[in-house]
Amino acid sequence: MKIDELNLPEGLDPKHIPAHVAIIMDGNGRWARQRLMNRSIGHSEGVNSVNRITRFASDLGVRDLTLYAFSTENWNRPADEVDTLMNLIGETILREAPELRENNVHIRLFGDIDRLPESVRRNLFEGRDLCQSCNGLNLNLCLSYSSRWEITRAVRLIARDVREGRLDPDDIDESVIESRLVTAGIPDPDLLIRTGGEQRISNFLLWQIAYSELYFSPVLWPDFDEKAFADALIQYQNRERRFGMTSEQILSLQK
């Protein structure tokens, strides 16, 4: 859908949509518990929110939507919940890929993907490959991902390059580190949303969010809808991002 055909919530400026939105999708378990249901039902409902928000973000013209779908620490959950989540993620990607392709959504997988069960990996790769030629929204799925895992990996890659004579330690700067992150080449998130009422970062994109705007929503992820997403964007649009500079400097840069 084109942005001018959307029934945009009052106060949302379609000309200042953040290019990159990252989301910590939290609250599936509580959503289920409140209804005396198994946590897995909460995760299934969470998939509906993923579909809804992906479609809306794409319609709004967001360039990158980065979702924290399964963290390194989530491996420590009870085995049956891990299995449920793995199967759900694998099945969802395969099922949704044709529609994602129709909507020109490009899929990227970030994290220690080798740790995922083979059948899930196969589905993920199939879904990603189906959308390979799409150039609309980039849907970045973080799976078996944590920021400390990512930074440790980057250090290992850099150390290898130094050992093998490809890199001089004196040449290591921020861009060298950035180029070894899983998000290499992707602009940092403008906005990081966490749903579910908790106010922490939980090992997500620690390097990349240095200057992101943070937004904490009390809404549990399965209830997070277009209106809740728009509320986050409106808040974002009303903030002044200074990147360590003064208001006056920012204003003169905008002229």
Q: Taking Cα atoms as reference points, which of 91, 161, 86 lies closest to residue 126? A: 91
Is residue 135 annotated as a catalytic residue, yes or no?
A: no
Within 180-209, the residues that bind ligand FPP by CB under 6 A are 196
141 DSSP β-pair partners = 67, 109
Query: CB of 242 within 8 A of CB of 211?
Result: no
Q: Can residue 27 be called a binding residue for ligand FPP (CB under 6 A)?
A: yes
Q: Taking Cα atoms as reference points, which of 71, 68, 206 lies closest to residue 146? A: 71
The string of DSSP letters for 178-239 reads HHTSTTTTSPPPSEEEE-SS----TTSSTTTTTT-EEEE--S-GGG--HHHHHHHHHHHHTS
Q: Can residue 120 be called a binding residue for ligand FPP (CB under 6 A)?
A: no
Cα 144 from Cα 206, distance rounded (Å): 15
Q: Which is nearer to ligand FPP, 47 or 182 (CB)?
A: 47
Q: How far is the CB of 167 from ligand FPP (least distance, A)?
A: 35
- Mark the segment that binds ligand FPP (CB under 6 A) among 45-53, 146-154, 155-163, 168-176: 45-53
Q: How far is the CB of 144 from ligand FPP (least distance, A)?
A: 12
Is residue 26 annotated as a catalytic residue, yes or no?
A: yes
Among 74, 103, 123, 140, the active-site one is 74
Which residues are identified as catalytic?
A: 26, 74
- Residues near ligand FPP (CB under 6 A): 25-30, 43, 46-47, 50, 67, 69, 74, 85, 88-89, 92-93, 141, 196, 221
